[in-house]
Amino acid sequence: MSAPLLDIRDLSVTFSITRQGGWPWSAPHRLQAVRGASLTLAPGQTLGLVGESGSGKSTLARAIVGTVPASEGQVLWRGKDIVSMTAEQHRNHGRHVQMVFQDPLDALNPRMTVGQIVAEPLRTHFPNLSKAEIHRKVGAMMERVGLLPALINRYPHEFSGGQCQRIGIARALITDPELVVCDEPVSALDVSVQAQVVNLLQELQREMGLALLFIAHDLSVVRHISHRIAVMYLGRIVEVAEAEELIENPRHPYTKALIASVPIPAPKAERARHRPVLQGELPSPMSPPSGCVFRTRCPIAQPNCADAPPAVQKLDDTHWVACPYHANTDKPVQI
């Protein structure tokens, strides 16, 4: 087995929040967006990351890219911690790790042409390239993502949402990165366009040998594109497994609830199946529950779940779950 491209070890990200109207000398509140996250990603593989809004997925993604500093733990890129990198090393790291954002139009500068947008990373990381070479590379990359090179002088508002996301993908891939972090790249698109973008990412992954961190809410999309899936709740990773194993045999009650929320395209089967529904709202990360953060909504919670965060239960070499009572739930419904 190859060494991991990305190795996240006990990563925590904490923000200091000053409330409006508070006294100037009041101590800021702490918001721990990510808590003790540990993940690995091998070269050429896709790791899916799922969870509700507010679970810390985007913060984890930004810590990996290096735009958000880690409070504790390590983010190892080919064995080197990005926290200890110099400014020059951070610039080089940016060349190898790129990001595709959720809202394709908001992610693009409306005052720049498509050609300027896609070329910008080349000018940053390869300042010695000639204008002719940059123009050639931009045209080739636009064609690679399904856009006509003749559109190079148009502006983002002249394109549809799906086309804008293709522009964002072209911009991310123009430096030939090893890892692309996709932060909910299809959630703002129509269903048919979602399929096109996901298929495009898979095709580019095969051609370029990319590793992908794919963040999404839709488990059916994540299942389609991912080799492995990690489930995140209120800043903590609660389960990790191979994609098919996690869908067919989920162990954490939160994972089971997420899977049950995916509709089946068969009315009779959809009406007949058992669908566990999570009670209550996601707690505030400003004041998370003690112990297991999921216990306030968990159908199998025990009194001692409030005492301490649950230890990881390793089921096999690729499947682990952070719940000591995972065997107490019913067999899940398949999707």
Q: Is 125 helix (H, G, I), strand (E, B) or coil?
A: helix
Q: Is 197 helix (H, G, I), strand (E, B) or coil?
A: helix
Residue 272 lies in a domain: yes
Q: Is 21 exposed, middle or buried (0-12, 13-18, 19+ CB in 10 A)?
A: exposed
**Which pLDDT value is given to residue 332?**
44
Cα gap 8→24, rounded to integer Å? 36
Residue 306 lies in a domain: yes
The residue assigned the tokens 């048919």 is 192
Q: What is the CA radius of gyration of the chain?
A: 21
Residue 208 lies in a domain: no
**Which pLDDT value is given to residue 27?**
72
Residue 170 lies in a domain: no
Q: Which residues pair with 214 in a beta bridge?
A: 48, 182
**Which pLDDT value is given to residue 285?**
86
Q: Of 288, 290, 308, 292, which is closest to residue 300 (Cα–Cα)?
A: 292
**Contact predicate 260/276, CB 8 Å:** yes
One pLDDT digit (tens) per residue for the chain, 335 residues:
567 899 999 999 998 887 665 666 667 778 889 999 999 999 999 999 999 888 999 999 999 988 888 899 999 998 888 888 887 888 888 889 999 998 888 889 999 999 999 999 999 999 999 999 999 999 999 999 999 999 999 999 999 999 999 999 999 999 999 999 999 998 878 888 889 999 999 999 999 999 999 999 888 889 889 999 999 999 999 999 999 999 999 999 999 988 888 777 767 766 777 776 777 788 888 888 999 999 999 988 999 999 999 989 999 889 999 999 887 665 444 43
Residue 305 lies in a domain: yes
The one-letter amino acid code at 188 reads A
Q: How many structural domains comprise the chain? A: 1
Residue 127 lies in a domain: no
**Contact predicate 219/49, CB 8 Å:** no
12: CB partners within 8 A, 6+ apart: 32, 34, 35, 36, 37, 70, 71, 72, 73
Residue 242 lies in a domain: no
**In what helix (H) or strand (E) does residue 270 lie, and over which residues does it extend?**
helix 267-272
**Which pLDDT value is given to residue 211?**
96
Residue 46 lies in a domain: no
**Which pLDDT value is given to residue 20?**
64
193: CB partners within 8 A, 6+ apart: 160, 161, 162, 165, 186
**Which pLDDT value is given to residue 120?**
95
- 330: which 2 tokens? 């019913």
Other Cβ atoms less than 10 A from the Cβ of 305: the count is 22
**Which pLDDT value is given to residue 335?**
37
Cα gap 121→322, rounded to integer Å? 40
Is the pTM here over 0.85, yes or no? yes
Cα gap 160→164, rounded to integer Å? 6
**Contact predicate 175/144, CB 8 Å:** no
Could you list the residue range(s) of the whole structural domain that residue 297 is in?
Answer: 247-335
